[in-house]
Every structure is written in structure tokens, then in C-alpha cells.
Amino acid sequence: MLLQSSIPASDKSPDRGRFRQAFNVLLEQIGNPAEFELPDWFGKGKPLPYTFIKRNIYLTKRVKRRLEDDGIFCSCTASPGSTGVCDRDCHCGMLLSSCSSGCKCGKSCLNKPFQQRPMKKMKMIQTDKCGVGIVADEDIKQGEFVIEYVGEVIDDKTCEERLWNMKHRGETNFYLCEINRDMVIDATYKGNKSRYINHSCSPNTEMQKWIVDGETRIGIFATRDIKRGEHLTYDYQFVQFGADQDCHCGAPDCRRKLGVKPTKPNKMSSDAAFQFVACQVAVASPEFKALLSRKDVCTELLLHLEAKV
């Protein structure tokens, strides 16, 4: 960088003249101009500036809410000695659908993670190889809601434009999460602390796609018990855009490169799990069949299961 005046000598305006005079005085005080470079460490690892938001901001056409999207009405009842209803055996929760505002369980309903459960305490730290990361600031139990992934909801066209612009600027950090067809959450410019949760090939949290009063929202849930001070991580399932990126998660089963899929999946995929649970619910509750009949795969499974009942 070179410290010098950029005011043209031909500029005779009073304001420019006073500014030039002040600038010359400054030069006399600090001595001769000198070229210098910022040290390598300056600016490295600092989090990119962003605007904090609590909920998604839609920059694309929002899907209209329909009456049938108001949530699935469960048949849960409070058990003796219990302080709440709609726990792990709630049909709505099994289908990753939050109980609707019209749920008869009322304020005691436990199946409203996005509406009623506060995000877990966490703090940002600087890591050795993975930039800024997030550590838990309290103990978190398996299955608990950690935080919602929020940002600007954009369509595929806008997403592609932003990706190319970021690539041309030489940026390597992306904060994109696809939630539906032609619908992506981009936390680059607006988001919350979830954007700093790092990748791991052996993560302690996972992303889950939930339906909340007709809106698709992304929640991050603990896959095991997490101790205070432990790094929060999830598997990015990275989609390659540009040069390969090395993985520095340090897990014993690290796949070395972001985007390399596990050779042996640890569990059933979320879509398969949804279909399996949905079909079980449908067999037990005939009123759900109309809702699920729109999915061909589920319809076939229903017929198969009904033949065995």
C-alpha cells in the first residue's frame, strides 16, 4: 500500500484545497511516504461479516400455505406423571412435522422444537485448521434441538449467480443449504451462529428437514450426548464447486476430502426413514392414507404392508 494524495492538482474547490492542506500537514508529521504490506496473519481466520437474523428471509416466491399444511393432528395423550405430551412416540414427530398451532395438546406439547425450544448455548472459537468454529457452552443430550439453520431463501438461479460471483472473488467459504426444489437457504449475508458449525466425517449433530405450519425449516439436532466445550459438527455432504477441499476434521474415519460420501452409510436415509414411518402410521391410522397416497413409493409400501395385516 502506498500512502499518497489522490487529489488532482487542478481541483481548485475550497473544500478540496482545505483537504489537501490538511493532508500535507499529516504527511509532514508522519514523515516520507513508505510502501508496506500487512502481515500474513492479519485478517486470516476472522469471521466474515453478516447480519444476524432469527428467521429465514424469503427472496424468492414463498409457497402458499394451504389448509392441509397446518400440520398433522396427533392422537397423543398425557401419560401418568408426565409433564408433557407429544414426546418421542408422537406421529407428527416421527414424520418430522411439528405439531400445528391447532394441536389439542396445547402448551404441554413437546413436538414444537422450532417454536418453543430455545437454541442451545454456544460460542465461536478460532480453530487451528478449520477457521472459525462453534463449541457447545452447555451439555446437550442426544436428540435435542440445537439451533435452526437460517438465512436468505433464494431460488436456484440466484444461487448459481451468487456461487459464480463468490468464485470469481476467490472466496472458498460457502453457506448454502438446499431445502426443496428451487429453494436454497443462503447464510452468506444473513444468518446465525449455525453458519460457523464445521464439518466432520464423524459428526455429533445432523440437519433435519421439518415441516412447521406448512413451511420447510432446517433444524440441527444432536446425534449423541455432547459435553460443554465440545466442537459442534455435522456432515456437510459437500457438493463440489471449484477445486477440491481437504478435510481437517481429524476423525479416525476421515474421508480426507470434502464431498466424498461414506462407503458404508451409518443409517437409513432420511427419505427412506420418512417413508417407512409414514407407512407404519398410515396402516395404524386410516385417515392418513389420503395424505400419503400422493407418494407412489409410499403407496406401494402401504399395499404391501396391508397385504400382511
| Residue 105, in any domain of the structure | no
| Residue 44, in any domain of the structure | no
| Residue 277, in any domain of the structure | yes
Q: Cell digits for 301?
A: 409400501
| Residue 88, in any domain of the structure | no
pLDDT at 130: 84
298 in the same domain as 204: no
Residue 134 domain boundaries: 51-69+112-266
262 in the same domain as 218: yes
| Residue 97, in any domain of the structure | no
262 in the same domain as 146: yes
288 in the same domain as 176: no
226 in the same domain as 122: yes
Chain position carrying cell 427419505: 271
Phi, psi at residue 305, to the nearest 5°?
-70, -40
Chain position carrying cell 406423571: 81
d(Cα 223, Cα 130) in Å, to the nearest integer? Answer: 22
204 in the same domain as 181: yes
pLDDT at 281: 56
pLDDT at 100: 76
- Interhelix angle 296-308/270-284, nearest 10 degrees: 50
| Residue 134, in any domain of the structure | yes
pLDDT at 38: 43
CA distance readout (Å), 216 to 80, 152, 296? 34, 13, 21
145 in the same domain as 5: no
211 in the same domain as 281: no
262 in the same domain as 237: yes
CB 121 within 8 Å of CB 147: no
Report the domain count for the chain: 3
Mean pLDDT in order along the chain per 10 residues (309 residues)? 37 53 60 49 56 94 61 69 77 83 76 87 91 95 95 94 87 84 92 93 93 88 96 81 74 81 55 56 53 48 46
Please list, in sequence order, all residues whose beta carbon lies within 8 angstroms of the beta carbon of residue 183, skipping any fewer than 6 positions away.
60, 153, 154, 155, 216
| Residue 216, in any domain of the structure | yes
CA distance readout (Å), 249 to 12, 128, 173, 202, 291? 60, 11, 16, 8, 42
161 in the same domain as 142: yes
pLDDT at 120: 96
